[in-house]
Amino acid sequence: MEEKTKMKKVSTWKLQLRMILAMMIFGIIISVLVTIVGVFLGITYPAFYAGFFLLLILGQYLAGPKLVDWSMKVRYVSPEEAPNLHRMIDELAMNAGIPKPKVGISEFMIPNAFAFGRRQKDGRVCVTQGLINKLNEGELKAVLGHEIAHIKHRDMIVMTLISAVPVIAYWIALSTLFSGDNDSYSWVIGLAGLAAYIIGQLLVLFVSRVREYYADQESVAIGNDPHQLASALYKLTYESASASKEQIKEVQGFKAFFVNDVSDAGNEIQELSQLDMDMDGHLSQDELDRLKYDKINLKTSSKLMELISTHPNMVKRVKRLAEMS
């Protein structure tokens, strides 16, 4: 009963609005690119290119989970193989009001977790092999709640769709700017593709950062303590900062799926360590309470780095969790 009283509904209309606006902007970007390419090739049917693009998106949407399974080296486990994982995910999915996701373990050794799928009924929550036994039960449950939130909010579907746009724009820019063709139209297409790539990538990163805040909030709303999630984020950042270059390189292309930005963990752990007053390796309720009323000061470099990161600045995330406690 005590846990139930902690649950509350998280308003996600701002998240949904931002995702819709992002989709609209991406639609405009693609329309412009299609028109420019159509004019260059002398084809007066831009709908052909739009249809081709939609087929690519549909293909990515349908094949996405299988591609993630393969690239992230996921093995799905039964309740008998991983009873604790299944028990926690069962409870969290019920609290969130969504169907229970499939439960998997990735072979990657860097400690982390991720969620993906085409829709709520197709949701999958996975932990890496390196995460097992790194967190206590409260911390692990809070991280799993964060991943359950991504499925509940359906933001992983939008990320799958919009992430393809910058890739296509980059390919168009690369194939025209460096093709050796001095035709003026080639330069126009190349520059348009480059501009679309930059704008698109910044939008993808923005949506990715926003959804992380909402997932943190939802994890708390479905019954997890803010300090448990804060402590888990601290530990995961420390583990990422301690990982070898080979381990980071292995997961570099998938970092948007993870709970924290593994690439920038070295910088973030320096700022986070200032919050660990007793230097015991995790953030306690007292330390989070102290942060609740303190003003955080971020270096200019940290603010700039956040703009090109898939995740919000970690100190800002922990500060928000402190305000929820």
Question: Residues 74, 104: contact at Cβ < 8 Å?
Answer: yes
Q: What is the mean pLDDT of residues 302-311?
A: 85
How confident is the model at residue 52, as a pLDDT?
67
Structure tokens at 53: 């693009």
pLDDT digits (tens, 9 = 90+) for 170-219: 777 777 776 666 566 677 777 887 888 888 778 878 888 889 999 999 99
Q: Is residue 5 part of a domain?
A: no
Q: Which domain holds residue 194?
A: 10-324
Spatial separation of the C-alpha atoms in residues 254 and 250, rounded to whole Å: 9
Residue 142 is assigned to a structural domain of this protein: yes
Banded pLDDT at 5 (limits 50, 70, 90): very low
The chain-wide mean pLDDT, for the chain, equals 83
Phi first, then psi: give them for residue 281, nearest 5 degrees.
90, 0
What pLDDT is attached to residue 294?
Answer: 81
The answer to whether residue 117 scores a pLDDT higher than 50 is yes
- What are the φ and ψ backbone dihedral angles of 225, each rounded to 5 degrees? -75, 135
- Given a cut of 80, is residue 19 above it in pLDDT? no
What would you report as the CA-atom Rg of the chain, rounded to the nearest whole angstrom?
A: 21
Look at residue 34 in the predicted model and tell me its pLDDT. 67
Cα torsion at 233, 315, 227, 235 (round to 10°)?
30
Distance CA 27, CA 273 (A): 42
Residue 325: band (very low, low, confident or very high) from pLDDT cuts 50, 70, 90:
confident
Q: Answer whether residue 235 shows pLDDT above 70.
A: yes
Amino acid at 141: K
Residue 107 lies in a domain: yes
Q: Is residue 2 part of a domain?
A: no
pLDDT at 221 over 90: yes
- Residue 104: what pLDDT? 97
182 within domain boundaries: yes
pLDDT value, residue 44? 59
**Does residue 276 surpass a pLDDT of 50?**
yes
Q: What is the pLDDT of residue 56?
A: 65
* 220-226-227 Cα angle (round to 5): 155
More confident residue, 14 or 164: 14
In a domain, 86, yes or no: yes
pLDDT for residue 1 is more than 70 = no
Report the half-sphere exposure of 320 (CA within 13 A, side-chain side).
17
If one counts the domains in the chain, the total is: 1
**Does any domain span residue 19?**
yes
Where in the sequence numbering do the catalytic residues fall? 147
